[in-house]
Structure 1
Amino acid sequence: MTSTATARSQNSWDFDFSTPYPTQDSDLLKQLSFIPGLKEILMARQVHALEHATVWVLGDMARPRGIGDRFEEQQDNETLGGLSTDRGFYLYGPVNRIHLGRAVRRALERLKSGEWDLALHPRCGTNTSVSRLLTAGFFAGISLLFPRGPLEQLFAFGIATTAAAQLSPDLGNLAQKHLTTSIPFNLEVDSISQTTDLWGRSAYFIGVRWCESSVVR
């Protein structure tokens, strides 16, 4: 019986970015290995997804549990933040190291098992960037339709900002899904250490390593 991943790999240039599968980035890396820095880009996207999922899992862990309580919605802990690199990610905020270790591994397991929505987060910088681009684009277009007076231009800016605020959440999620994150099928957690980032801020750094063959458990 031919698996989905095997069927896709029979056509070396048939990359399906709409439905994640375990060898998607490995296949892409094999076919486009001549592109400098491609592996680092792919790793950064996978790490980005793991960062988001870890924040979600930590939020769930911090939520008080009641008898018979069911958690069908993810809980966002706004005291936590992250910064991804191609070697791992920094996690900022009050968190217990033991809980963090459990959360990272649980997040990785859930992502690989099909809970792909964990890879997206509303507080991601991608959404902020999309919002700014939309605002600038809308204002550039709308301002041409209004007189050049300051009040009229301020009104145009207000319209642009409102329109961007309405569209940016959905478009930001699309940008995260297809551009800035990828399901971390190739990642394994390597280390968790307390450190400081480039700006001297205290954080935990979750180091990861690339694995060519990743089995979904």
Structure 2
Amino acid sequence: MKPGDFLFSRRMRQNHALEHATVTILSRMVPDLRVSARATTDGFLMFGSDVDLALLRRAAEEALQRLQAGEAELAIHPNCGTNLAVGISLVTIGTMLGFASSRTRTRVTSTVLSSVAGLLAARPLGELVQKYVTTLPDLRGVRLTEIRRRKIFGFQVIEVRTAQE
């Protein structure tokens, strides 16, 4: 069992990896792309700019093939919310540790230094968390089943669905 399997299902982690790879490839096809996406156990949802569904399908199929061929680095994305969550956690811990000091001058200095250290460490640690906890680039047996546009709570959303063979 992998470390991430304790927190997230295998399917969720696989779809998160596919989401990242798809957004990376789609961003190369559409340089001014502005989207966000969220993995689900059935695939992923994409929010944002009006994406051409045929282009998205090409990007998703390429992403799936490349991940299945072993390009695991496509599963890691620099703008993933995991990086933000890790950064916020590190800054919070740093601030709490800084406030633990009994002297005011030391408290302020410790708080600032530990918070800055947390910010600097956020991206590299966030990418490690992505690699070992929140994504799984092993997509053997995964296939795309459907890509469709729909409304959820009045917002246009693109749903990319996957299945396990």
TM-score range, shorter chain: 0.7 to 0.9
Amino acid at match of 2:116: T
User: Contact 2:100–2:107 (CA<8 Å) still a contact in 1?
Assistant: no
Amino acid at match of 2:27: G
Q: 2:19 — aligned with what?
A: 51
Paired residues for 1:105-184 under 5 Å: 105-145=61-101, 147-148=103-104, 156-183=110-137, 184=139
Q: Please tell me the root mean square deviation across aligned C-alpha atoms, in Å.
A: 2.5
Please report the TM-score for the alignment, with normalisation by the length of structure 1: 0.67
Q: 2:144 — aligned with what?
A: 189
Amino acid at match of 1:137: I
1:153: how far off?
5.3
Please identify which structure carries the higher helix content.
Answer: 2
Q: Which has the higher contact order (CA 8 A, sep 6+)?
A: 2
Matched-pair identity in %:
29
Q: Secondary structure at the match of 1:123?
A: coil
Q: 1:84 — aligned with what?
A: 39
Structure 1 residue ranges (4+ consecutive) displaced by more than 6 angstroms after TM superposition = none
Query: Which of 1 and 2 has greater Rg?
Result: 1
For structure 1, which segment, 184-193 or 48-57, has the greater mean C-alpha deviation from structure 2 after superposition?
Answer: 184-193
After superposition, the C-alpha distances for 1:130-167 in whole angstroms (9 at most, x for unaligned) are 11111111111122236358xx7565443233111111
Please report the TM-score for the alignment, with normalisation by the length of structure 2: 0.86
Unpaired stretches in structure 1, ≥5 consecutive residues: 1-14, 19-27, 29-34, 64-76, 212-217
1:118: how far off?
0.7
Matched residues, number: 162
Q: Secondary structure at the match of 1:164?
A: helix
